Amino acid sequence: MSLSTLTKPADAPSTVDASVPYYQSVGNECEMFEQAFAQRLPLLLKGPTGCGKTRFISHMAAKLGKPLHTVSCHDDLTAADLTGRYLLKGGETQWVDGPLTRAVREGGICYLDEVVEARKDVTVVLHPLTDDRRVLPLERTGELLEAPDDFMLVVSYNPGYQHILKSLKPSTRQRFVAMSFDFPPPAVERDIVAKESGLPAERCAALVNLAASLRGMKGQDLEEGISTRLLIYCATLIQAGMPILDAARATIVEPLSDDADVQEGLMEAVRATFG
Amino acid sequence: MSLSTLTKPADAPSTVDASVPYYQSVGNECEMFEQAFAQRLPLLLKGPTGCGKTRFISHMAAKLGKPLHTVSCHDDLTAADLTGRYLLKGGETQWVDGPLTRAVREGGICYLDEVVEARKDVTVVLHPLTDDRRVLPLERTGELLEAPDDFMLVVSYNPGYQHILKSLKPSTRQRFVAMSFDFPPPAVERDIVAKESGLPAERCAALVNLAASLRGMKGQDLEEGISTRLLIYCATLIQAGMPILDAARATIVEPLSDDADVQEGLMEAVRATFG
Amino acid sequence: MSLSTLTKPADAPSTVDASVPYYQSVGNECEMFEQAFAQRLPLLLKGPTGCGKTRFISHMAAKLGKPLHTVSCHDDLTAADLTGRYLLKGGETQWVDGPLTRAVREGGICYLDEVVEARKDVTVVLHPLTDDRRVLPLERTGELLEAPDDFMLVVSYNPGYQHILKSLKPSTRQRFVAMSFDFPPPAVERDIVAKESGLPAERCAALVNLAASLRGMKGQDLEEGISTRLLIYCATLIQAGMPILDAARATIVEPLSDDADVQEGLMEAVRATFG
Amino acid sequence: MSLSTLTKPADAPSTVDASVPYYQSVGNECEMFEQAFAQRLPLLLKGPTGCGKTRFISHMAAKLGKPLHTVSCHDDLTAADLTGRYLLKGGETQWVDGPLTRAVREGGICYLDEVVEARKDVTVVLHPLTDDRRVLPLERTGELLEAPDDFMLVVSYNPGYQHILKSLKPSTRQRFVAMSFDFPPPAVERDIVAKESGLPAERCAALVNLAASLRGMKGQDLEEGISTRLLIYCATLIQAGMPILDAARATIVEPLSDDADVQEGLMEAVRATFG
Amino acid sequence: MSLSTLTKPADAPSTVDASVPYYQSVGNECEMFEQAFAQRLPLLLKGPTGCGKTRFISHMAAKLGKPLHTVSCHDDLTAADLTGRYLLKGGETQWVDGPLTRAVREGGICYLDEVVEARKDVTVVLHPLTDDRRVLPLERTGELLEAPDDFMLVVSYNPGYQHILKSLKPSTRQRFVAMSFDFPPPAVERDIVAKESGLPAERCAALVNLAASLRGMKGQDLEEGISTRLLIYCATLIQAGMPILDAARATIVEPLSDDADVQEGLMEAVRATFG
Amino acid sequence: MSLSTLTKPADAPSTVDASVPYYQSVGNECEMFEQAFAQRLPLLLKGPTGCGKTRFISHMAAKLGKPLHTVSCHDDLTAADLTGRYLLKGGETQWVDGPLTRAVREGGICYLDEVVEARKDVTVVLHPLTDDRRVLPLERTGELLEAPDDFMLVVSYNPGYQHILKSLKPSTRQRFVAMSFDFPPPAVERDIVAKESGLPAERCAALVNLAASLRGMKGQDLEEGISTRLLIYCATLIQAGMPILDAARATIVEPLSDDADVQEGLMEAVRATFG
């Protein structure tokens, strides 16, 4: 069972558990996560779109047997969206915890995806949770919650999007242990695509090669390299019987660009791979 | 019976059903839609104003026998407009589902037209619905809705309008299977205009030829090519007995431009066609 | 009896009815309006300040025997101002229809004056009313109103004011049959001024000649040509016994400009006409 | 008895009434006002700070025996501030008329001072009151108030402050009969200062001469010419026994400028007059 | 007893009263204040940070035996913050007077510090209080309060901060009798510092000399001259036994600048004075 | 026991108390703080991220035996967040004190971290607390709280972040005794890192040397020097058994920069230190 904002682990975590989402490690990222968890240090993940950060965290949460609370951040996300607010019920205002507060009360991992998108007052909530105090003050209720030992804060952002108005201030960045993520190496990515789509691994290899060459175009014609997710979409449609070029146009060319010239360049790369 | 925000299909869908809106396929778009629906993948449609995207989706929803929930996005559309909010009723706050939530609860196709216009927090609602989790978290009610197999998310935008402040981020784009739409080929468009207006097809052919030449002016004097809808308006007024030049001025020249020189150029094209 | 936001026609409309506001046709605009009404097509009127658009619509509404709902649009006008909102009454929230909703429920003509001034979410409300669905979805109440056959939407704007931030998007413009308005020809305008002010037509002719020459100054020293309304004001004050130059200064020179040089030029034109 | 927002006239107005505020006419402005009132036309007053516009309107309202409702407009003034709003009283919302609505219900003169400062939705409220409909629609209550014959709308602004973002649109300006105001001629201003301050007229003459020369500096070193009000302040302090140069510094030099050089220039002019 | 927003005078004011805050007059400012109060004219004080404006007003209020209502203005201060608003109490809305309203009801001096910082609608509230009407209209309650004879409005601002977006419009400035303040002359300032800190006057003289030379740096390296308040802080710490250079760094150098070069220049001046 | 927003001291403060957080003094900062507290003067701390300002204040609060109220300021922090607001409880509005109000009522130290980030109305609340009045007016409740002798206000900001829109106005700055903070000297920092991480001091010395050289890069490639906190993170992971280079990458290189070239330069410095 896999829930987004609250991923409840099996009661007794085990090393190989069917409920642990598949994740293929490519370095020491699992050890680093476990050490940060053990030392009660907050963690910052950096990396491009669709390279597997979310999957990695789901995997680690399940492996550690801890619930996972995920929040996708955006321009209008405020501290109150994380901590909670009063709602009017039966003529009486009643406090309703936000996802961060629930995570601090109950323990587990709270993951703020694309944290640089959130509004600035979010920083204030995170600071006392990310130094040696490890507390969450709730001004509105007058509570001061102490985070349990098994609470861990994880945030992520995509360095490729950073700009002046939207970046983490050093006073915030310097509160996290940090790791960079990138797309998995070819053999790993091939196995991931095969596992998720059902398409035989040998047919997925060409897709992964294509992805590698397209990722080299980033910064020139493409804003961002192709994600592993789109490769899985493509393999899924091929496996369902769709002609390869049709599937590639719909899952690779069209999602990556609106520009006719760029699209033609992409289709040439597709034809060179599968032609 | 055709409703906008909720188009209920006939109880038993059939291949040729009077309740299926007329749509003339011009490629493999129907197969692509059906595959995306079958594989539970979200779909992105790109294309200019009035080229038939909305009609296509109505057609597919009816063909698949699924209800259609349509939302036109705009600058002030927020996540709460899609998911729902609490309203005060009888002194008690009561949750009222938004159109996206209704679509996830009941199944069917939810269509967000011109999605790039919506505010940024909409993205957050769409992300967990467009990866393998397929869930809709409702923070306010504490619910986590799992989308049924027959739920499908479709979004659209017009690449011609894209600008820096209003575009889909790659982290969102790369979650969709995508297709480009354009105006239908002449013979198809002629039949569409004839069917909708009642004007004989042979008289509609000249209108379609005129449209093709006007569409070549896009980017020079015209911001956008003429839509099939305006051709239908023109044919409708001609069929109702209005002089051709009067009808063309009111449905082609005036809607396309306010500039006197451009209007004169358009009228010359009209007179060259019908003179 | 003439009401602005809701102009109720006489029970039995007749061709020459005392309750039909006076309007002097200058082209095929009456036929075009009637055809658009008959074909259930929405209408867009373009034209400068005070050229008679509002009067024309009042005339047509009365002639067709339909109630008229007028809304003057502005920077802060939102969709809820058109569709309605909940108000707290007796401790209970109660829905109150806006003018557009009333027009759709009861039929008649809904006229949005200077529609480009309204906020962007207004567009969303208009779209499903301006294609073949002709429906008004009320998200807040869960209703989907189908417009009756005698509902007609009319919008207007002044092309002279258009600028980048305030213009109708092609995706909206191309949903309307459109007409351009201008000031009436001299003989017609003379009769209008005479009829409204009580000043004999032969004395009004000079005022109309003056207006024509002043309108030639638009874009140079004057932002906008003089309206027929100001001519009527001037004639009214003259008819009431005020010296011509005093009346012209107060109703023509001062309303048109604050610039001393431009005012002097205008007074010279006045003196040349009446001196 | 003199009240600002509501100046109630004596029961029986008479030509020379002690309750009529003193106003010294300098042209045909009184006749113009009376004609506009008689013809039920709205009036626009233009002129610099402190030249007597407010006093003029108080005078005319008292002379015509009509109540005067004054509203000073500002950046945040909205239509609801003029028309009214619902307030919660005893658990029930209750409508409370704004000053414009009261003026329309009860008759009298409604004066909007510095109308260009108000927010744009105010324009919408004024339009139906300033054409031949003379109605005030109250969307929130569903009422449509017809203005009585003795209702008159007067607005004012200072042309010297106009800039791009803050100006009356032609579509609004061209709805008013308009008059320009300026400071009164020397002999008139001398009498006004003497009457208001108690200082003998012969001693006021030098102050008025000084004012005339300072007003010639406008646009160079001074943003605005000195108002008659400041002359009255100065004369009042002199009459109370303050040394002339001290009084002039506090009521003329300091209020007009913060710039040391400009202040020195002003003091030189003061000393040249009184030295 | 000294209260900020409401300074209640002793029941029977006397010329030398222990409750009158110490203020050393440097010109005719006390006479000017008394005359403005006697003539019921509003007063505008101009001057740099910390030069004694607030103290002067406290002194005059106590001397005149009038309560003092002080409001520090800021970017978000609105008219309602001054006049009052409805609050919900026991299910019923109840009007709560703001500080300006209280001052008008009860008499006394209302002091708006840094008035240019307030939002624009504040101006509207001040205008009818600053001409011969001397009234405060409360639109929300329908009241029109007439100011008693012993009501006086005083406002202040710092001309050194003025910029385009934040300045008093001439139409507001020209409603006030105005005075400029500056730092007190050396002998006076020395006595003030000695009296407030307890440090002997002869030791304070060097501090005052230092201040004079630092004030000469304003506009070059320093945004603003050093205030008398900081001199008092410095003398207080010296009197408490702190080394002079340490005290000067903490109360003069660090508060005046963050720039290392400027700080070094300031320390040199300190050492030159005390070395 | 360590609480963030309210750090309650032990009942009887003593010079060496286990509840006093460790702080290694590097100058006269402790004496300065005690003097400011004794003289009832407000204090301003300036300094870079993570140099120990927060720790210093916790230390001093505990040493003085006073509770500590901490507020992290941000873009959306308003005066009401500090002073309190009315909340609806049981159909009745009820006042709830903010942290500043609680500090003034109960005494103790109120610390506003990064005060320049707060909204401008916060300044208004601070002004009457930072002059000789030492009062907190609560407009909403009508209270005027006098600060007890043991109330102290401390604010901080990072001069490295200052820019035009976000800085303390001189009229606010000149109300505080001020001190600059910087990173501790090497021997002190080494002992701090050792004490916090458990890693032997001799192994921490290399980390501190590395930090010194990296801090020299500030303003060139790095926005901000590395904080002592990150050194502690690094030492903690090393002490937990992680390879030095892995620990340094995760706690020094990745948190300081996203730029590949800068990261490589940082890794070289790491390898030069530990290689």
Beta bridge partners of B97: B84
- On whether any CB of chain D is under 8 Å from the CB of C251, the answer is yes
Name which residue leads in pLDDT, B160 or D34.
D34
pLDDT at C176: 95
Closest approach of B126 to chain A, Cα-based (Å):
10
Q: Do C93 and B88 touch (CB under 8 A)?
A: yes
* B159 vs A220 pLDDT, higher one: B159
**For F6-62, what is each residue's pLDDT tens digit?**
444 433 333 334 578 888 888 899 999 999 999 999 999 998 877 889 889 999 999
At A3, the pLDDT band (50, 70, 90 cuts) reads: very low
Q: If 0-12 CB within 10 Å is exposed, 13-18 middle and 19+ buried, where does residue F151 land?
A: buried
**Residue A19: predicted pLDDT:** 73
Kindly list the partner chains of chain E, i.e. chains with 3 or more CB atom pairs below 8 Å.
Answer: D, F
CB atoms within 10 A of CB D265: 18
Which has the higher per-residue pLDDT, E54 or E89?
A: E54
Average pLDDT over residues F249-254: 94
Q: What is the pLDDT of residue B172?
A: 86
How far does A235 lie from chain B, in Å, by closest CA? 11
User: What pLDDT, on the 0 to 100 scale, is given for residue F224?
Assistant: 79
Under the banding of pLDDT at 50, 70 and 90, the label for residue A88 is low
Q: Report residue D8's pLDDT band, with 50, 70 and 90 as the boundaries.
A: very low
E3-180: CATH number:
3.40.50.300
pLDDT attached to residue C61: 96
Write down the pLDDT at residue C9. 42
Work out whether the CA dihedral F112, F113, F114, F119 comes out positive or negative: negative
- In this prediction, the answer to ipTM > 0.85 reads no
Query: Within an 8 Å CB–CB cutoff, is residue D94 touching chain C?
Result: no
Query: Which of B121, B128, B170 minimises the CB distance to A224?
Result: B170
Mutate to test the interface with E, among D1, D5, D166, D214 (most CBs of E within 10 A): D5
Q: Number of A:F CB contacts under 8 A?
A: 113
Chain B residue nearest residue A251, CA to CA: B177
Question: Residue A12 pLDDT more than 50?
Answer: no
Task: Give the best-scoring range by mean pLDDT among A130-144, D239-253, F210-224.
Answer: D239-253
Between chain D and chain E, the number of residue pairs with CB atoms below 8 A apart is: 112
> Whole-model pTM?
0.72
Which chains form contacts with chain B, at 3 or more CB pairs under 8 Å?
A, C
pLDDT of residue A241: 94
The top-scoring range by mean pLDDT among B249-258, D92-101, D214-223 is B249-258
Report the alpha-carbon distance of residue A116 to residue A155 in Å, rounded. Answer: 9
Q: Where are the domains of chain B?
A: 3-180, 186-274
In this complex, the chains that touch C, judged by 3 or more CB pairs closer than 8 A, are B, D
Whole-number Å distance between alpha carbons of B152 and B41: 7
Q: Which of A87, A96, A233 sits opposite B177 (nearest CB)?
A: A233
Query: Taking 70 as the threshold, does the pLDDT of residue F162 lie above it?
Result: no
DSSP D43-83: EEEE--TTSSHHHHHHHHHHHHT--EEEEE--TT--HHHHH
User: Over pLDDT 90: what percentage of chain E?
Assistant: 51
Q: Averaged over A61-88, what is the pLDDT?
A: 85
Q: What region, left, alpha or beta, does residue E79 occupy, with left being phi > 0 and alpha being psi -120 to 50 degrees?
A: alpha
* CA pair distance D27, D181, nearest whole angstrom: 10
Cβ–Cβ contact E30 with D under 8 A: no
Determine the residue of chain C that is closest to B196 in CA distance.
Answer: C132
Write the residue in C41, C93, C128 that is nearest to B4 by C-beta: C128
Provide the pLDDT for residue E4: 29
Strands F135-138 and F143-146: antiparallel
Structure tokens belonging to residue D8? 């109630």
pLDDT at residue E175 greater than cutoff 50 = yes
Residue C166: band (very low, low, confident or very high) from pLDDT cuts 50, 70, 90:
low
| Cβ distance of D135 and C72 shorter than 8 Å | no
Q: Where are the beta strands (DSSP E) in B114-218?
A: 135-138, 143-146, 151-157, 177-180
A170 touches chain F (CB under 8 A): yes
Q: How far is C32 from chain B (nearest CA, A)?
A: 8
**E229 → closest Cβ in F46, F137, F175:** F175
- Examine the pLDDT at A73 and tell me if it is beyond 90: no
Query: What's the pLDDT band for C93 if we cut at 50, 70, 90?
Result: low
Contact residues, B window 48-77, toward C, CB-based 8 Å cutoff: 49-50, 54, 70, 72-77
Task: Kindly report the three-state secondary structure assignment for every residue of E70-112.
Answer: EEECCCCCCHHHHHEEEEEECCEEEEEECHHHHHHHHCEEEEE
Q: Decide if A237 touches B, using CB distance below 8 A.
A: yes
Tell me how close the Cα of A145 comes to any Cα of chain F, in angstroms: 9
pLDDT at F13: 34
- Taking residues C180-201, report their average pLDDT: 93
pLDDT(C270) > 80: yes
H-helix or E-strand containing C244?
helix C244-248
Instruction: Average the pLDDT over C95-99 and give the result.
Output: 87
Most confident residue range from A87-96, A162-171, E154-163: E154-163
Check CB contact of F27 with chain E, cutoff 8 Å.
Answer: no
Does E230 score more than 70 pLDDT?
A: yes
To 5 degrees, how large is the angle CA A31–CA A33–CA A38? 95
Q: What is the pLDDT of residues D140-183, one digit of tens each?
A: 777 889 999 999 999 998 886 555 456 787 888 899 999 999 88
Question: Residue B6: what pLDDT?
Answer: 44
Whether residue A171 and residue F240 make contact (CB cut-off 8 A), yes or no, is no
**From the CB of residue D25, how many other CB atoms can be counted at a distance below 10 Å?**
12
pLDDT tens readout for residues D187-213: 999 999 999 999 999 999 999 999 998
Q: For residues E49 and F171, what is the distance between their CA atoms, to the nearest angstrom?
A: 5
Q: Show the tokens assigned to A92.
A: 């009486």
**What is the pLDDT at residue A14?**
32
Closest CA to A83 of A65, A110, A62: A110
- Chosen from F32, F87, F88, F124 to mutate, greatest number of chain E CBs within 10 A: F124
CB contact under 8 A, A75 and B119: yes
Q: Which of A137, A170, A175 sits opposite F223 (nearest CB)?
A: A170
Of E32, E131, E137, the CB nearest to D250: E32
- pLDDT per position as a tens digit, E4-26: 244 444 333 333 345 788 888 88
Q: How far is C255 from chain D (nearest CA, A)?
A: 6
By mean pLDDT, which of B15-29, B73-87, C39-53, F8-22 is the weakest? F8-22
By C-alpha distance, the chain C residue nearest D146 is C3
Nearest chain B residue (CA) to A250: B178
CB contact under 8 Å between E237 and F162, yes or no, is: no
Neighbours of A273 (CB within 10 A): 16
Report the relative pairing of strands E151-157 and E108-113 from DSSP bridges: parallel
